C-alpha cells in the first residue's frame, strides 16, 4: 500500500480505514494504528469472535435476557472492546456479556473500542488525555476510568494519580456504571446531573432507583430533594429496631417478688415479639455465690 493511499484512507476517517481491504492494522508500526487507538466505531457483530481465553464461561440467562431487552430498546450504551486480528476480523477483549446480549437483541452492528497489538502505552495516554476534555459526560468519564483499570491494569489509586483526582472521585464515577441502563442514558443525555446520580446510587433496589429517576424527570427535583427522598426510602426499608414492649403489671410484680426472695435487684424486659429477659443484679463474687445457693435450694 503506497503512502498516498494510506493518507487517503486516513483522510476518510476511521470507518474508511477499517473498510479498506488493503489495510490490515494489527500493530501501529506503520502509523495507521494511531488512528485506531481510543476510537469508537460501529462493527458488524459477525466480524467479532469471542475471546478463547475468557475466564468467565457462565452467564446467568435471565440477567442476559433482561440486558438484551434493554439493549433492544435503547441500544448498547457501553461499547465493547475488541482487538483487531486482521481485515474484517476482531476478537473480544472485554464486554462479552454485552456482546452476547446484543446478539440476543438482534443487533447486527454494535459500538466498539478497537485495540491493536502494541498500543498499551498509547492507550493509557489517549484515555488520560480524553478524560481531561470538558465536554465529556459522567458516563464517558466512568468508562474511561474503567478502561484504565481493566485494559491498562491500573488500580483505582493509580488512576486517581494519573488524572489528578481523589480516589473517592474515581470510585464515585465507576459506581455510575452499576446504575440501570435507563439512568445511565439519562446521564449521557444530561437529563440528570452527577449529583442526582450519586443520590440514586445510594439506593439498593433497582426498581426504586428507576421510580425516583422518573420523579426527577417529571417533577424536576433538585439534588437536595432527591437526597431527602433517598433518606426517606432508607428509613422505610431499614430493619425495624428492636422495640420494647411494656411489661404487664403482673410480670412486674413477679419480678419484685423474685427480687425480695433473692435479696437482689431483678428486672424484666420484653420485646415486641414476646421474647423477654430476666436480669438479676449482684455486686461482687460473694453476692453471686449467695444468689446461686438460693437458686439451687
Confidence of residue 19 (pLDDT cuts 50, 70, 90): low
| Whether residue 113 sits in one domain with residue 14 | yes
Check residues 267 and 200 and name the one with the higher pLDDT.
Answer: 200
CA distances from 207 to 203, 204, 213, 261, 291 (A): 10, 9, 10, 58, 57
Q: Is residue 126 part of a domain?
A: no
Task: Pick the last residue of a domain from 212, 233, 254.
Answer: 233
Torsion region of 271: left, alpha or beta (phi above 0 gives left; psi -120 to 50 gives alpha): beta
pLDDT at 99: 92
- What total of structural domains would you count in the chain? 3
Q: Is residue 284 part of a domain?
A: yes
Tell me what the pLDDT averaged over the chain comes to: 79
pLDDT at 2: 42
Task: Pick the last residue of a domain from 117, 134, 161.
Answer: 117
CATH code of the domain containing 7: 3.90.1530.30
- pTM for the model stands at 0.52
CA–CA separation, 246 and 223 (whole Å): 42
| Whether residue 99 sits in one domain with residue 79 | yes
Which one is catalytic: 96, 158, 182, 227? Answer: 96
Query: Is the per-residue pLDDT at 256 higher than 50?
Result: yes
pLDDT at 253: 80
Query: Is the per-residue pLDDT at 240 higher than 60?
Result: no
Check residues 154 and 26 and name the one with the higher pLDDT.
Answer: 154
Q: CB neighbours of 105 closer than 8 A, spacing ≥ 6? A: 68, 69, 71, 72
| Whether residue 13 sits in one domain with residue 75 | yes
| Residue 217, all three cell numbers | 424527570
Confidence of residue 12 (pLDDT cuts 50, 70, 90): very low
Q: CB neighbours of 94 closer than 8 A, spacing ≥ 6? A: 80, 81, 150, 151
Confidence of residue 55 (pLDDT cuts 50, 70, 90): very low
Q: Is residue 140 part of a domain?
A: no
Percent of the chain having pLDDT more than 90? 35
Confidence of residue 3 (pLDDT cuts 50, 70, 90): very low
pLDDT per position as a tens digit, 123-135? 777 778 778 777 7
Confidence of residue 38 (pLDDT cuts 50, 70, 90): low
Q: What's the gap between Cα 247 and its chain centre? A: 47
| Whether residue 228 sits in one domain with residue 248 | no
Q: Is residue 130 part of a domain?
A: no
Residue 280: how many other CB atoms lie within 10 Å: 15
| Whether residue 95 sits in one domain with residue 67 | yes
Phi/psi of residue 49, nearest 5 degrees: -115, 150
**Segments forming the whole domain that contains residue 264:** 244-296
Residue 159: how many other CB atoms lie within 10 Å: 26
pLDDT at 245: 59
Q: Is residue 22 part of a domain?
A: yes
| Whether residue 113 sits in one domain with residue 13 | yes
CA–CA separation, 291 and 297 (whole Å): 10
In terms of Cβ atoms closer than 10 Å to its own Cβ (0-12, 13-18, 19+), residue 268 is: middle
Confidence of residue 244 (pLDDT cuts 50, 70, 90): low
pLDDT per position as a tens digit, 83-108? 887 777 888 877 888 999 999 999 99
CA–CA separation, 196 and 230 (whole Å): 11
Number of H helices, E strands in the chain: 14, 8
CA–CA separation, 125 and 137 (whole Å): 19
Among 115-129, 142-156, 198-212, which is the least confidently predicted range? 115-129
pLDDT at 176: 95
Do strands 48-49 and 89-94 pair parallel, antiparallel, or not at all (unpaired)? parallel
Query: Is the per-residue pLDDT at 161 higher than 80?
Result: yes
Task: Pick the last residue of a domain from 188, 209, 233.
Answer: 233
| Whether residue 257 sits in one domain with residue 204 | no
Q: Is residue 75 part of a domain?
A: yes
Check residues 129 and 167 and name the one with the higher pLDDT.
Answer: 167
Average pLDDT in the 289-297 region? Answer: 77
Q: Catalytic residue at 96?
A: yes
Average pLDDT in the 214-225 region? Answer: 94
| Whether residue 205 sits in one domain with residue 99 | no
Average pLDDT in the 179-186 region? Answer: 94
Average pLDDT in the 259-284 region? Answer: 78
Confidence of residue 7 (pLDDT cuts 50, 70, 90): very low
| Whether residue 281 sits in one domain with residue 210 | no
Q: Is residue 217 part of a domain?
A: yes
Q: Is residue 20 part of a domain?
A: yes
| Whether residue 254 sits in one domain with residue 225 | no
Amino acid at each position: 500500500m503506497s503512502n498516498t493511499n494510506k493518507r487517503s484512507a486516513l483522510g476518510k476517517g476511521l470507518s474508511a480505514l477499517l473498510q479498506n481491504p488493503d489495510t490490515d492494522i494489527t500493530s501501529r508500526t506503520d502509523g495507521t494504528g494511531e488512528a485506531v487507538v481510543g476510537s469508537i466505531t460501529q462493527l458488524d457483530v459477525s466480524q467479532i469472535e469471542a475471546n478463547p481465553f475468557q475466564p468467565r464461561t457462565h452467564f446467568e440467562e435471565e440477567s442476559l435476557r433482561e440486558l438484551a431487552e434493554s439493549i433492544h430498546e435503547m441500544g448498547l450504551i457501553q461499547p465493547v472492546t475488541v482487538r483487531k486480528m486482521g481485515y474484517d476480523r476482531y476478537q473480544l477483549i472485554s464486554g462479552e456479556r454485552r456482546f452476547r446480549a446484543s446478539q440476543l437483541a438482534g443487533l447486527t452492528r454494535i459500538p466498539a473500542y478497537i485495540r491493536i497489538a502494541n498500543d498499551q502505552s498509547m492507550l493509557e495516554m489517549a484515555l488520560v488525555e480524553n478524560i481531561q476534555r470538558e465536554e465529556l459526560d459522567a458516563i464517558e468519564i466512568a468508562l474511561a476510568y474503567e478502561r484504565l483499570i481493566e485494559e491498562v491494569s491500573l488500580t483505582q489509586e493509580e488512576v486517581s494519580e494519573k488524572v489528578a483526582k481523589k480516589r473517592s472521585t474515581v470510585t464515585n464515577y465507576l459506581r455510575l456504571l452499576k446504575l440501570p441502563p435507563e439512568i445511565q442514558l439519562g446521564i449521557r443525555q444530561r437529563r440528570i446531573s452527577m449529583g442526582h446520580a450519586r443520590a440514586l446510587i445510594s439506593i439498593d433496589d433497582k426498581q426504586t432507583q428507576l421510580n425516583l429517576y422518573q420523579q426527577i424527570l417529571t417533577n424536576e427535583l433538585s439534588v437536595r430533594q432527591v437526597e431527602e427522598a433517598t433518606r426517606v426510602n432508607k428509613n422505610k426499608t431499614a430493619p425495624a429496631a428492636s422495640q420494647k414492649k411494656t411489661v404487664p403489671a403482673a410480670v412486674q410484680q413477679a419480678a419484685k417478688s423474685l427480687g425480695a426472695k433473692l435479696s437482689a435487684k431483678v428486672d424484666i424486659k420484653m420485646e415486641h415479639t414476646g421474647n423477654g429477659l430476666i436480669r438479676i443484679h449482684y455486686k461482687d463474687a460473694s453476692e453471686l455465690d449467695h444468689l446461686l445457693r438460693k437458686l439451687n435450694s
